[in-house]
Amino acid sequence: MTSTASSNDSTTATMSKSLYIDGVWTAPVHPRTVPVVNPAMGKSIGHIAVGASDDVERAVRAARAAFSSWSVTPVAARVAMLDKIYHLILERKELLAQAIMTEMGAAISFARASQVPLAAEHIRVARDLASSYPFLKIEGHTAIAREPIGVCALITPWNWPLYQITAKVGPALGAGCTVILKPSELSPLSAELFAQIVHDAGVPAGVFNLIQGSGPEVGEALATHDDIDMISITGSNRAGALVAQAAAVSVKRVTQELGGKSPNVLLPDADFARVVPLGVMSAFRNVGQSCSAPTRMIIPRHRLAEVESLVAATVNVMVVGDPRSEETVLGPIANEAQFLRVQALIEAGIAGGARLVCGGPGRVEDLTEGYFVRPTVFSDVTTDMRIAQEEIFGPVLSLMPYDTVDDAINIANDTKYGLGAHVQSEDLDSARAVASRIRSGQVHINHPAWDPHAPFGGYKRSGNGREYGIYGFEEYLETKAILGYA
């Protein structure tokens, strides 16, 4: 289904033309702007200022100067700052939701229900962890101190723009680090709103800095800078590898949350009428633009026809259209380059011999503007096909039949990625057994509720390190042993 309410200039956002460095909004050393494109319209709605290496230098100096005091600020004061940030996000949740809808096309209902509140949760969790974390423990005569690692560069993507920012900034500030945030220039509006929240919360100058700009310019300057102690990046495999290579010269800590090709294994005893629609919705959440989206549904071969029918019925009632409409489930793909990639991979699925259940290439009927993709499901997908191996990052689901449970596990693990996975079964012991054999950083059994404390990160080429909860918090800490302390 489509929603044909048109997007118009009422969605135009007011753009700033400045960076946030050392506690003030400031122009780049060499002023330059790039357009911000509303993907529902496929055209520019304004411009933002972008920085370069000179601006990185300014931000690093500010962050380094602020670190000496922020790192020894009483924990209670850091907790109080995070508490202010948390409540300001909640107070400005509608403004943030509107910005996310405008900059990357998230349906407004999804932005309100998920993008913003889940982002706020990362700040709340960091606040609570910092307030109770044992920064100093005595073991015999030795003290084990956990100290902030230093100045951290945080590089975030366009698909969950605020959520990924708070997942990094919250624990970094709570741990006592100072930060330089480089959000994606493709979804910059929520990042600027967040920077204003940090400012209004009273975070000291230099503790938090924001530089908009591209990966090759700002990202590389951050990765190579000798006075940055850690890089945390969420992005593509290519970007993660380039950052790691650049950071290796100065032996920085690098944490990476990269791509995924997550399996969803339906065991024969699963309640198919319940879990198949949930599996489709999970795969297509955020228009499929989630690195952990379970886009490979692995199902018993003898139930393939049944699953195809359930999948088609689920997809056919999804409303695709204007993200401002409360009825819309799937808005546009977030940018033109990603739209073209999704189209190319749908064509590759057809060329590779997969059978279309619904959707296919081309624009959504009645939506002539913007980057709207037809929600697409392929069946009879095998592991040698491109659509089974490459991260598509769009509303494209592959149905992959299996004959035995061992086959299902082999299919699930036949990928260079290992970020997320799902297992469905009425028998919890069976689900646990399969979950233990899947090589991924998270496994969800029977579509559980989201847990902001559950560590998130990947095996294999899905990255290094973890985010969320105490595991993400500790990424921003060094370990010091002080012998003879007691």
Q: Would you please indicate which residues are annotated as catalytic (active-site) residues? A: 257, 291
What's the Cα-to-Cα distance from 58 to each of 28, 53, 348, 437, rounded to whole Å? Answer: 10, 9, 46, 48
**Which strands, in side-by-side order, build the sheet including 136-139?**
136-139, 142-148, 477-482
DSSP state, 216?
I
CA atoms of 383 and 126, how far apart (whole Å): 40
Look-up: residue for tokens 């990160």?
457
What's the Cα-to-Cα distance from 139 to each of 3, 64, 75, 131, 191, rounded to whole Å? Answer: 62, 32, 22, 21, 42
Residue pair 458/438 in contact (Cβ under 8 Å)? The answer is no
Q: Which residues, other chains included, contact 192 with Cβ-Cβ below 8 Å and sequence gap of 6+? A: 16, 20, 48, 210, 212
CA atoms of 407 and 413, how far apart (whole Å): 10
CA atoms in the 13 A half-sphere facing the CB of 266: 28
Tokens, residue 57? 């230098």
For helices 93-104 and 116-132, angle between their N-to-C axes, nearest 10 degrees: 120
Q: Which helix (H) or strand (E) holds 368?
A: none
Q: Are strands 19-21 and 24-26 parallel, antiparallel or unpaired?
A: antiparallel
CA atoms of 21 and 57, how far apart (whole Å): 10
Angle at 448 between CA 443 and CA 451, to 5 degrees: 80
Look-up: residue for tokens 């590759």?
348
